[in-house]
Amino acid sequence: MDTDTSVTELVGQAVAAHREGGEQSYQRFLATVGLLRERDFEEAAEAIRARSGDPQERAAITELLGRLPLAGDKQSCATATDCLRRLLDGEKDECVLQDAVYALAWICDASSLEPLLDLLDYPSDAVREAVATSLASAMAGEEDERGIAALITLSADRSAEVRDWACFALGTLLDCDGDAIREALAARLDDPCDDTRCEAVLGLARRGDERGLQPLRQALDGDSVLTLRVDSADETDDPGAARLRRRIAERWPRRDPARQALHEALRPGRSHTGSPAT
């Protein structure tokens, strides 16, 4: 353990490395994070709170706050979340706001959910996209009803990227089921964004919903080969989906490095045929 360098100095070194940019500097930043994890977290948090310079510095301290807490340590997670929430309250820089949202996701603790919900209606598409990206992690496996409701709301967002991430979280990252989730995914089956539409198909297929299975059967007659269709086909034991898996594999270039992944996708699907929760 490095005991010759104070916690305040280590925080300063981490911020400086983060500001420099580049891979080597970022590796120094991560190494310093490792050293800070060996020190008292509350002392580190106090040193971080004392810094509030330009947007580059604030971006650095948000990542520090996201990476320092140890998984499962409720006290450090709560302290880091409180620091990030205070930063969010007065922050105007969109890039820093995005970094703070991602930091809350890294904490991966239920305490980080509430600050994300506060940004659900934020005007910036980029910030709402960060929220959609982070909600599943922030729920920390609890599948909180508020987080699920937020993802359902974001699945109908005006931004295609936000809708895509929200449908990915609802359909794939979360295993919970229910009429509201299925209807939110079904509403995106005719989405103008291909990725969003495919995420909706996948989410419904995973749950054994015919509205997801039918597009897979229709894909057998199409010329477009989409990775998400392979994923969707792998989520069900539907005979038509099995034929789709074989057809895509046959058409994939033999020397393509992704061919092995496609062979893996030919294994029997994982069926989710249970009834939706009520």
pLDDT digits (tens, 9 = 90+) for 207-234: 888 898 777 667 655 555 444 444 554 5
- The verdict on residue 45 lying in a domain is no
The rounded percent of the chain whose pLDDT value lies above 90 is: 56
Contact (Cβ atoms closer than 8 angstroms) between residue 10 and residue 39: yes
* Residue 101 in domain: no
Is position 59 within any domain? no
Residue 91 lies in a domain: no
Residue found under tokens 């004392």: 50
- Full-model pTM: 0.77
Q: In terms of residue numbers, what domain contains 178?
A: 167-267
Express each pLDDT in 173-198 by its tens digit.
998 999 999 999 999 999 999 889 98
How large is the angle between the packed helices 74-90 and 94-107, nearest 10 degrees?
Answer: 170
Domain count, the chain: 1
For residue 236, being part of any structural domain is answered with yes
Q: Where are the alpha helices (DSSP H) in the chain?
A: 7-20, 23-37, 41-49, 55-67, 74-90, 94-107, 113-117, 125-138, 145-154, 160-168, 179-186, 194-206, 210-219, 227-233, 239-251, 259-265
Measured distance CA(52)–CA(38) in Å, rounded? 24
List pLDDT tens digits, range 103-134: 999 998 888 899 999 999 999 999 999 999 99
Domain membership of residue 10 (yes or no) is no
Task: Give the CB-side neighbour count of residue 85, counting CA atoms within 13 A.
Answer: 15
Rounded distance, CA 34 to CA 47, Å?
16
Q: Is residue 248 part of a domain?
A: yes
Would you say 112 and 81 are in contact if contact means Cβ atoms under 8 Å apart? yes
Alpha helices in 207-238 (DSSP H): 210-219, 227-233
Q: What is the CA radius of gyration of the chain?
A: 22
Q: What is the pLDDT of residue 71?
A: 74
What's the chain's average pLDDT? 81
pLDDT value at 59 more than 70: yes
Q: Report yes or no on 95 lying in a domain.
A: no
